Amino acid sequence: MTLTGHQDAVTCLMFDSTRVVSGSLDHNLKFWDIHSGLCLNTIDWKKAEGHTDVVRCLQADSWRVVSAADDRTIKVWNLETGERLVTLRNHTDGVTCLQFNDFIIVSGSYDKSVKLWDFSSC
Protein backbone atom coordinates (compact mmCIF):
# COMPACT_ATOMS: atom_id res chain seq x y z
CA MET A 1 0.00 0.00 0.00
CA THR A 2 1.26 3.49 -0.83
CA LEU A 3 -0.17 6.61 0.79
CA THR A 4 0.00 9.60 -1.53
CA GLY A 5 -1.26 13.12 -1.10
CA HIS A 6 1.55 15.35 0.17
CA GLN A 7 2.77 17.99 -2.28
CA ASP A 8 6.41 17.66 -1.20
CA ALA A 9 8.77 15.24 0.55
CA VAL A 10 7.56 13.47 3.70
CA THR A 11 9.88 14.36 6.60
CA CYS A 12 8.40 12.55 9.60
CA LEU A 13 5.73 10.08 10.58
CA MET A 14 4.30 7.92 13.34
CA PHE A 15 1.74 5.19 13.43
CA ASP A 16 -0.38 3.12 15.79
CA SER A 17 -2.79 0.25 15.23
CA THR A 18 -5.32 2.39 13.34
CA ARG A 19 -3.59 5.47 11.92
CA VAL A 20 -0.53 6.87 10.23
CA VAL A 21 0.29 10.55 10.75
CA SER A 22 2.76 12.15 8.34
CA GLY A 23 4.44 15.56 8.17
CA SER A 24 6.00 17.09 5.09
CA LEU A 25 8.01 19.83 3.45
CA ASP A 26 4.59 21.05 2.25
CA HIS A 27 4.00 22.18 5.90
CA ASN A 28 0.94 19.93 6.24
CA LEU A 29 0.06 17.02 8.50
CA LYS A 30 -1.98 14.14 7.10
CA PHE A 31 -3.89 11.50 9.05
CA TRP A 32 -4.36 8.16 7.26
CA ASP A 33 -6.36 5.02 7.98
CA ILE A 34 -3.71 2.30 8.29
CA HIS A 35 -6.02 -0.40 6.94
CA SER A 36 -7.65 1.31 3.94
CA GLY A 37 -4.97 3.89 3.13
CA LEU A 38 -7.59 6.64 2.97
CA CYS A 39 -6.62 10.13 4.08
CA LEU A 40 -8.83 10.86 7.09
CA ASN A 41 -7.80 14.47 7.64
CA THR A 42 -5.31 17.05 6.43
CA ILE A 43 -4.13 19.89 8.62
CA ASP A 44 -3.52 22.54 6.00
CA TRP A 45 -1.20 25.18 7.40
CA LYS A 46 -2.98 27.94 5.46
CA LYS A 47 -6.38 27.14 6.94
CA ALA A 48 -5.74 25.67 10.39
CA GLU A 49 -3.04 27.93 11.84
CA GLY A 50 -0.64 25.10 11.12
CA HIS A 51 3.10 25.21 10.67
CA THR A 52 4.47 27.81 8.27
CA ASP A 53 7.66 25.89 7.52
CA VAL A 54 8.91 22.31 7.22
CA VAL A 55 7.43 19.89 9.77
CA ARG A 56 10.46 18.12 11.29
CA CYS A 57 9.03 15.75 13.87
CA LEU A 58 5.86 14.53 15.51
CA GLN A 59 4.67 12.18 18.21
CA ALA A 60 1.19 11.06 19.21
CA ASP A 61 -0.60 9.39 22.07
CA SER A 62 -4.17 8.10 22.14
CA TRP A 63 -5.76 11.52 21.58
CA ARG A 64 -3.08 14.15 20.77
CA VAL A 65 -0.45 14.75 18.14
CA VAL A 66 2.45 17.06 18.93
CA SER A 67 4.36 18.43 15.93
CA ALA A 68 7.39 20.69 15.60
CA ALA A 69 8.78 22.59 12.66
CA ASP A 70 11.36 24.95 11.25
CA ASP A 71 8.92 27.79 12.01
CA ARG A 72 10.24 27.57 15.64
CA THR A 73 6.93 26.30 17.01
CA ILE A 74 5.50 23.22 18.65
CA LYS A 75 1.80 22.59 18.06
CA VAL A 76 -0.55 20.26 19.89
CA TRP A 77 -3.48 18.85 17.89
CA ASN A 78 -6.54 16.78 18.68
CA LEU A 79 -5.89 13.44 16.96
CA GLU A 80 -9.55 12.83 16.07
CA THR A 81 -10.61 16.27 14.86
CA GLY A 82 -7.34 17.90 13.79
CA GLU A 83 -8.19 20.93 15.95
CA ARG A 84 -5.14 22.90 17.09
CA LEU A 85 -5.15 22.94 20.89
CA VAL A 86 -2.10 25.10 21.58
CA THR A 87 0.99 26.59 19.96
CA LEU A 88 4.20 26.76 21.99
CA ARG A 89 6.78 29.41 21.09
CA ASN A 90 10.15 29.97 22.73
CA HIS A 91 12.79 28.49 20.45
CA THR A 92 14.82 30.99 18.43
CA ASP A 93 15.40 28.59 15.53
CA GLY A 94 13.71 25.56 14.00
CA VAL A 95 12.61 22.73 16.29
CA THR A 96 14.22 19.46 15.20
CA CYS A 97 13.05 16.86 17.72
CA LEU A 98 10.57 16.29 20.52
CA GLN A 99 9.26 13.69 22.93
CA PHE A 100 6.44 13.89 25.43
CA ASN A 101 4.60 12.08 28.18
CA ASP A 102 1.51 13.10 30.16
CA PHE A 103 3.42 15.82 32.01
CA ILE A 104 6.30 17.20 29.94
CA ILE A 105 7.15 17.99 26.33
CA VAL A 106 10.90 18.03 25.67
CA SER A 107 12.10 19.71 22.48
CA GLY A 108 15.44 20.27 20.79
CA SER A 109 16.30 22.93 18.26
CA TYR A 110 18.81 24.31 15.80
CA ASP A 111 19.19 27.06 18.44
CA LYS A 112 21.31 24.52 20.39
CA SER A 113 18.85 24.31 23.28
CA VAL A 114 16.69 21.64 24.86
CA LYS A 115 13.47 22.99 26.37
CA LEU A 116 11.04 21.39 28.81
CA TRP A 117 7.40 22.46 28.61
CA ASP A 118 4.69 21.82 31.20
CA PHE A 119 2.26 19.63 29.26
CA SER A 120 -0.41 19.82 31.97
CA SER A 121 -1.01 23.45 31.02
CA CYS A 122 -1.51 22.61 27.33
**How does pLDDT run across 54-68, given as a tens digit for each residue?**
899 999 998 899 999
Work out the widest C-alpha separation in the chain, in whole angstroms: 41
Domain ranges for the chain, please list them.
10-121
- Domain formed by 10-121, architecture: 7 Propeller (2.130)
pTM for the model stands at: 0.86
Mean pLDDT lowest among 48-52, 72-76, 80-84, 92-96: 48-52
Read off the pLDDT of each residue in 38-51 and give the average, rounded to a whole number. 84
- Residue 100's contacts (CB-CB under 8 Å, 6 or more residues apart) are 59, 61, 66, 106, 119
**How does pLDDT run across 6-31, given as a tens digit for each residue?**
999 999 999 999 999 999 999 999 99
Mean predicted lDDT score pLDDT of the chain: 92
Q: Which long-range contacts (CB under 8 A, 24 or more apart) does 94-99 make?
A: 94/53, 94/54, 94/56, 94/69, 94/70, 95/56, 95/57, 95/68, 95/69, 95/70, 96/56, 96/57, 96/68, 97/56, 97/57, 97/68, 98/57, 98/58, 98/59, 98/66, 98/68, 98/74, 99/59
Q: In this prediction, what percent of the chain has a pLDDT beyond 70? A: 98
